[in-house]
Amino acid sequence: MIYSNEKIREVLVKEGAIPLLILPMYSFDCREKECSNSRIEKEKLYKILDLCDGIVLPGGDGWYFQDEEIITYAREKKKPILGICLGMQEMSKSLLGKKKEGDITILNDNDIHDQEEKEEAHSVLIDKESFLYKIIKKEEIMVNSRHSYHIPTLDKKYISAVSMDGIIEGIEDQDHPFFVGVQWHPENLYEKKGEAKAIFSSFLKACREKEEL
């Protein structure tokens, strides 16, 4: 099932954006096996992406291989891209390159990371040299958390935040105008926490700057 995250849609509209849903180009389920990307399918996808000033990859429970194609295209075209939870995990694959040791794995001890109802599940430490710190302007924040998988390893230059138990909570590519992923769900904290609003506001600012080029 393909669906839109309603909270993210609401936040984007409040920030002045016009959200579009990017649907798979394939006629079969692309979650369980790698899809065969034909030239025509790619061209159709690229036409949709060219309409977008930026990309949001939401959380969820289905890893679509089309998402990897979207991430690659967005990086090449310097389109702002924001990944949330699963979206961040998908983005990490493009940062790993050909490495295999960074495949997404299940958390063995998930007490603090899978708390569906809590607005403040655990703290996150933010690297002062990161782009994320420039957005949030805090070294430590409290976040919500509802994930059972995580990124086990990544080059340090791409890691912007970690939890107290060492789980990667933020990633970025500083060679890109806006390539930011967070493991928590800022869309659910948008009305209550300034740092959550700052993430979306910064993303939309990057999108508008891209549009003006």
For residue 63, give the CATH number of its domain: 3.40.50.880
Q: Report yes or no on 57 lying in a domain.
A: yes
- pLDDT for the residue numbered 191: 94
Q: Is residue 70 part of a domain?
A: yes
User: Which parts of the chain register pLDDT below 70?
Assistant: 1-3, 26-37, 97-117, 212-213
182 is a domain residue: yes
Is 185 catalytic? The answer is: yes
91 falls within a domain = yes
Q: What is the pLDDT of residue 64?
A: 78
25 is a domain residue: no
Q: What is the pLDDT of residue 148?
A: 78
Instruction: Say whether 207 is catalytic.
Output: no
Indicate which residue of 69, 172, 187, 195 is catalytic: 187
Name the active-site residue from 30, 35, 85, 207.
85
Residue 99 lies in a domain: yes
Which residue among 113, 122, 150, 185 is the active-site one?
185
Please state the domain count of the chain: 1
209 an active-site residue? no
Residue 110 lies in a domain: yes
Domain of residue 52 covers: 37-212
pLDDT on residue 1: 47
pLDDT of the residue at 31: 60
- Determine the pLDDT at residue 117: 63
The answer to whether residue 72 sits within a structural domain is yes
Long-range CB contacts for residues 204-211, cutoff 8 Å, separation at least 24: 204/12, 204/15, 204/16, 204/17, 204/54, 206/54, 206/80, 206/177, 206/178, 207/17, 207/53, 207/54, 207/80, 207/178, 208/53, 209/177, 210/53, 210/54, 210/78, 210/79, 210/80, 210/177, 211/53
